[in-house]
Amino acid sequence: MTAPLLEFDDFRLHFDTFDGCYQALDGVTLSIAAGESLGIVGETGCGKSVTAKSVLGLVPSPPARVAGGDLRYRGRSLLGLDEAAMRRIRGVEIAMIFQDPMTYLNPLFTIGDQMSAVIAAHDAGRPRAQRRSASQRRRLAADMLARVHLPNPDIQLTRYPHQLSGGQRQRVLIAMALSGSPSLLIADEPTTALDVTIQAQILDLLDELRRDLGLAILLISHDLGVISRVCDRVAVMYAGTVVETAPVESLFDDPRHPYTRGLLASVPHPRKPAQMLAGIPGTVPNLLHPPAGCRFQARCPSAVPACSQQRPATVSLAPRHDAACLLLAQRHVHEPDPHAA
C-alpha cells in the first residue's frame, strides 16, 4: 500500500464564539495517497470546507482552534507551521480551487499578469538561479492554459477576467493551481456555480489531470454524482464527523452507515432506476452543545440507548470500507462481514 500523501488523524477543530465553543470538526480521520482522488460529501454546514481549508491553514485563527489530533503531509505535521513554511507548501505542494473563481481573480489585471504573479510567488521560495524571467513566466502561463484546454492561450493571457465565461475562469484558476506543479489539488465545490454541461467538462478535466499528471485530488461537493464522476473513494461527513469512507462503487452498492443510507435514498442512483426521493427526518445537532455519543443518533432510525453514551469507533467493514457506527461495530464483532479480508 502506498504511504499517504495527506492524513487527517483524529483532527478536531473548534471555533470560539460569543455563544460558546462550536465543535465544528470532531475527530476527522482521512487519508489520500499520491495520485488518488478522494471525494468528501455531506450536507451544508457539515464541515467540508473547514476540513479542506485546515490543510492550508486558511481557517482564521482565532476564532478557530485546533482542539486535538494531527494533520500531516508526507508524514510531516502541518499544524503549527509558520507562514514562511506554509508558503512553501501552498501552491507548490498543495493547491486549492474554490466555487467562485471571480473571488480569486482581480478584475483590474489581465489573466497573463495574474498568472505571472502567481508563478513569481512560487519562484520566491526557490534559489535565485532557478527563478524564471518574465518571458519564461509568460511562456509557462500559456502552457498551463493550453494544458487546461483553453483555446488560443496567448490571446487569453491578454484578456481580463470579465471577458471570460464562468467555465473559462475556472479553467484559468486550475491553470494557476497547476503552475506550481503541486502533488495535491483540493477543489471545494469547483463546479457548483456552473451549468451542467460546463460542470461535466471541468470534472472531466480534473479526471484527465489526475490520470496524466498523477495529481491527487480532494474533491468536495454536496453532490454524489459530481464525486462519482472523478473520485475513486468517497468520505461521507455528518455534523463534523466522517461517518463512512468507501470506494465510490461500494458506497452506492452497499452503503452501511444509517446516514449514508438516508443520503443515498434521497439521490437517484446513476446506474439504477430513479427511486422515490426520501429525505432524512429531523435536524442536524447544534454543535455548540453536541450530544454525547453519536452525532447522528437523534435522526437515526436504528439508534439504541448506547448510541447516546459512547462515541462510535470507526470499524473496517471491508477492504477500504470503514464506518463509524456502534451498531455496525457490534454486528461486526459478532457476525464477521463475509466481504472482510
**Stretch of residues binding Mg ion (CB under 5 A), selected from 42-50, 64-72, 130-138, 330-338:** 42-50
Grid look-up 434521497 returns 266
**CB of residue 160 to ligand ATP, shortest distance in Å:** 28
State how far the alpha carbon of 207 is from the alpha carbons of 96, 174, 188, 199, 228, in Å: 16, 12, 15, 12, 11
Question: Do 111 and 162 meet the contact criterion of CB atoms below 8 Å apart?
Answer: no
Q: Which is nearer to ligand ATP, 22 or 150 (CB)?
A: 22
C-alpha 241 chain-centroid distance: 14
**Stretch of residues binding Mg ion (CB under 5 A), selected from 48-56, 78-86, 178-186, 198-206:** 48-56
Binding at 45: pick from Mg ion, ligand ATP, none (beta carbon under 5-8 Å per type): ligand ATP
90: DSSP letter: B
Binding at 56: pick from ligand ATP, Mg ion, none (beta carbon under 5-8 Å per type): none
207: number of Cβ within 10 Å: 16
**CB of residue 97 to ligand ATP, shortest distance in Å:** 14
Biggest alpha carbon–alpha carbon distance for the chain: 67
CB-closest chain residue to Mg ion: 49
State how far the alpha carbon of 255 is from the alpha carbons of 38, 94, 151, 181, 229, in Å: 17, 31, 42, 36, 18
Q: Which is nearer to Mg ion, 49 or 260 (CB)?
A: 49
Q: Which is nearer to ligand ATP, 230 or 287 (CB)?
A: 287
Sheet containing 20-33: give its strands across: 20-33, 4-17, 64-73, 76-77
Q: Which residues bind ligand ATP (CB under 6 A)?
A: 15, 17, 22, 24, 42, 44-50, 60, 63, 222
Q: Quick check: 49 binds Mg ion (CB under 5 A)? A: yes
**CB of residue 78 to ligand ATP, shortest distance in Å:** 17
The rounded distance, in Å, linking the Cα atoms of 96 and 92 is 11
**CB of residue 163 to ligand ATP, shortest distance in Å:** 29
Q: Which is nearer to Mg ion, 15 or 147 (CB)?
A: 15
Binding at 47: pick from Mg ion, ligand ATP, none (beta carbon under 5-8 Å per type): ligand ATP
Binding at 46: pick from Mg ion, ligand ATP, none (beta carbon under 5-8 Å per type): ligand ATP
Residues in the chain: 341
**Stretch of residues binding Mg ion (CB under 5 A), selected from 46-54, 59-67, 269-277, 298-306:** 46-54
The rounded distance, in Å, linking the Cα atoms of 73 and 60 is 20
Q: Which is nearer to ligand ATP, 224 or 315 (CB)?
A: 224
Q: Which is nearer to Mg ion, 49 or 54 (CB)?
A: 49
Grid look-up 505542494 returns 93
Residue 62, classified by CB atoms within 10 Å of its CB into exposed (0-12), middle (13-18) or buried (19+), is exposed
**CB of residue 43 to ligand ATP, shortest distance in Å:** 7
Q: Which is nearer to Mg ion, 49 or 114 (CB)?
A: 49
Name the nearest CA neighbour of 190 among 79, 100, 126. 100
Question: Do 73 and 6 meet the contact criterion of CB atoms below 8 Å apart?
Answer: yes
Binding at 63: pick from ligand ATP, Mg ion, none (beta carbon under 5-8 Å per type): ligand ATP
Q: Which is nearer to ligand ATP, 49 or 228 (CB)?
A: 49
**CB of residue 48 to Mg ion, shortest distance in Å:** 5
286: DSSP letter: P
**CB of residue 234 to Mg ion, shortest distance in Å:** 16
Residues that bind Mg ion in the complex, under the rule CB under 5 A: 49
